[in-house]
Amino acid sequence: MSKFHKTISRRDFMKGLGLAGAGLGAAAATTPVFHDLDEFVSSEANSTKDQPWYVKHREHFDPTITVDWDIFDRYDGYQHKGVYEGPPDAPFTSWGNRLQTRMSGEEQKKRILAAKKERFPGWDGGLHGRGDQRADALFYAVTQPFPGSGEEGHGLFQPYPDQPGKFYARWGLYGPPHDSAPPDGSVPKWEGTPEDNFLMLRAAAKYFGAGGVGALNLADPKCKKLIYKKAQPMTLGKGTYSEIGGPGMIDAKFYPKVPDHAVPINFKEADYSYYNDAEWVIPTKCESIFTFTLPQPQELNKRTGGIAGAGSYTVYKDFARVGTLVQMFIKNLGYHALYWPIGWGPGGCFTTFDGQGEQGRTGAAIHWKFGSSQRGSERVVTDLPIAPTPPIDAGMFEFCKTCHICRDVCVSGGVHQEDEPTWDSGNWWNVQGYLGYRTDWSGCHNQCGMCQSSCPFTYLGLENASLVHKIVKGVVANTTVFNSFFTNMEKALGYGDLTMENSNWWKEEGPIYGFDPGT
């Protein structure tokens, strides 16, 4: 039998990690029996859900965070933006002024840049705090409109007014009108089981560019609690529909002007979704939410605060592209598809409840495959029957209790400081009613990203780099015994080491879209 360093057999090694018939108590009782590492590595028991065996499924709406459903309730959408723009009674005359105030946070920017220079001696932030001219050029290339996306074009997305670098789906909530899918309901409905429909959407979404996918049952009262109480105009952009104009724009009678104030989101029996100055309506027949995430370029993200900004912002424009393609795919199947990237509710909670990830120390979700280097979850509300995907347990929420790497590298001190999760962060903009990690986003700056880049799970996702990574994930998912050891190994091996050194990146031939295909 083959040996590791001629001292221990592969089977004995598996037993020691709790991955064979005898092992670490409960871990051995819940883990498949593998006879050797070859059998272990080739196992993919959850292939229909595109997840490996160690990602365990939980009951619907029972994630690894503890939720008190008597307290947990619909979140005022304003609070989501309030962390940046101030409390509701802040003395601003319009939401546009709030955005401008947030974008111009010069004092905060100076503080963050000073902390980076202290951490990375000799680094020059350049004109805009990103590095040399190449870094600025890369950033603005992905944050500025390109042909077909401006006010006079026919593109699928365009930049938010007054928000450099942010994009929305050009055709917004309903999607572009098209002869192949008229709004009169004349397209015959695709007939498929909810399970087959999920697999169909997963195939289409990944073809369009999605990384991970999930689904939730909006008919469940618990799921409705994930939807914002109110729709906020700043999540769509002022005059998103009727005020912009230009060739190819839609008839205002079908796509009225976006309200300039917050209005309630209501569930009502209706043939179509609609909005006006009094409310936004989701038809009760729309009982499914399809979600997707996009991975970020790992090597770009490690260069935190420099060219990493381009790695983050490029995902936002891709959201609009992928989301609109998913929306049009569903519409051409004869169903409604309401795509509103951040308007339906907080993204992290959808990822946590739909099984794409678990909440991590940063307060955001850690994807089971992509780690913290992902963004989403984007949400498409539809009446296409879709089988919901359950929450998961891959040991990541528990791992964060002993791993403090993201907390230690955070220059603003905003990442959850205590070892254990808490019910209340003390911040008025946080959702109440769950025991989880709470981050003070008010100090977070959009030229940072250190917490995402340093997360061990971001680089454990590079499964083609080492066989050991997959073993580590399996162990973490089944026992907490080795968590501190793996954290120390992460620090020693330096997979998530941050750098401001960009010169090598410009000389290397990277993977397509900057993302490692081995993940």
User: Residue 65: is its pLDDT beyond 90?
Assistant: yes
d(CA 252, CA 261): 19
Q: CB neighbours (10 Å) of residue 177? A: 14
Q: Which of 50, 53, 55 is nearest to 39 (CA)?
A: 53
Instruction: Give the integer Cα–Cα distance in Å for 470 and 465.
Output: 10
Residue 352, pLDDT score: 95
* pLDDT of 248: 33
The per-residue pLDDT for range 324-362, each reduced to its tens digit, is 889 889 988 989 888 876 678 887 899 999 999 999 999
Tell me the whole-structure pTM to 2 decimals.
0.78
Tell me, what's the pLDDT at 222? 97
478, containing H or E segment: helix 467-478
- Tell me what the mean pLDDT of segment 51-76 comes to: 92
pLDDT for 37 equals 45
Nearest to 399 by CA among 499, 311, 480: 480
Amino acid 394: pLDDT: 92
Compute the mean pLDDT over every residue in the chain, rounded to the nearest whole number.
Answer: 72
pLDDT for position 288: 97
Sketch the domain layout of the chain as residue ranges.
3-43, 56-514
Provide the percentage of residues in the chain whose pLDDT is more than 70.
61
- Helix (H) / strand (E) element for 39: namely helix 37-41
Q: 376 falls in which pLDDT band (50, 70, 90)?
A: confident
% of residues, the chain, pLDDT over 90: 23
Residue 413 has pLDDT above 90, yes or no: no
Q: Tens digit of pLDDT for each residue in 179-201?
A: 566 656 677 889 999 999 999 99
